[in-house]
Amino acid sequence: MSQFPIKKRHISNSPIVLGCMGFGGERGTDHYSQDDIYKMEIAIDAALSSGITMFDHADIYRNGKAEKVFGEVLKANPSLRNKIVIQSKCGIRFPDDLGPKRYDFSKEYIIQSVDNILQRLTIDSIDVLLLHRPDPLIEPEEVAEAFEWLKSSGKVQHFGVSNMNKSQMELMNAYLEDPLIVNQLEMSLRKLDWVNEGISVNQQIGLNNYFADGLLEYSKLIDVQIQAWGSLANGIYSGRGQANVSKTEKNTIQLVNKLAEEKNTSPEAIVIGWLMRHPVKVQPVIGTTNPERIQKCADGVQQSKLMTREEWYELYVTSRGDELP
């Protein structure tokens, strides 16, 4: 079995990433409480006890409060920093006096964003910085200058992107001194357009299909780590409830639970294991804030190794609701 690209590069041994988008208290306020800090601390403990040592942030999560509560935990436990890998994202700007919601990959904004990220996290550097979704106005030369400055200053060790296709990544890599190492995409048992890049044109209409140009093959070829956000499919197959779900989704829920029972594991581990079974070595980003659910996801690593080709395809076909294309 091949290694995770991020492990090959000696950046992280964590096959799963804990996404921190849900932490930091209520949306729309600048306030967070001691209880919010405690929830973050408990989640970190649950992750570490499950072998999850990589944590994913973004400067916009809870308007920066997700990073702030994480920073509070780090400040109270300084030795923790050397045990974990921290990743954050920047490039999305919310509406303000200057303009509407937009993307900003300018050199000045990237550098300013990283300084703010480090301040909120109470640390001197982050391990990985991702550009948060594509910016139509990207100037790759300017991004390259920002990345070079951030690396030479010791503020960021490695760089990647999110939601970019093959052509966008090729363009950026043509200007970068160090190639991109991560691409974070929406991938799950519910979102299947990545599985078979030969799906019909009709099925692709209306989709932001990153995969139509051979992104997965390209990523494997150049050792880019594919990370999957939305990997638990919003919990629809692992306990969210069956109200307002389709017949196909009900059938998939039943199959996931059947496999979980047969294998003495959790539905979460089956859903995560299915993603990780793919040869591109997907690294799921789990967004749950529930410590128990974090621990349940951890067995997905083992389930990916145990899942047969037939089981993988049974989940694929059932979740599609039809035959293979």
Residue among 83, 10, 1, 70 at smallest CA distance from 278:
1
* Joined tokens for residue 120: 């909120």
β-strands 92-93, 102-103: how paired? antiparallel
Q: Reduce the DSSP state of residue 42 to 3 states and report it.
A: helix
**CB 86 within 8 Å of CB 157:** no
For residue 239, give the amino acid letter: G
Pick the catalytic residue from 32, 38, 61, 175. 61
Crossing angle for the helix pair 291-298 and 267-276, to the nearest 10 degrees: 50
Residues 6+ apart with CB under 8 A from 114: 90, 126, 129, 150, 155, 156
90 φ/ψ angles, rounded to the nearest 5 degrees: -150, 165
Known catalytic residue at 61: yes
Active site residues: 61
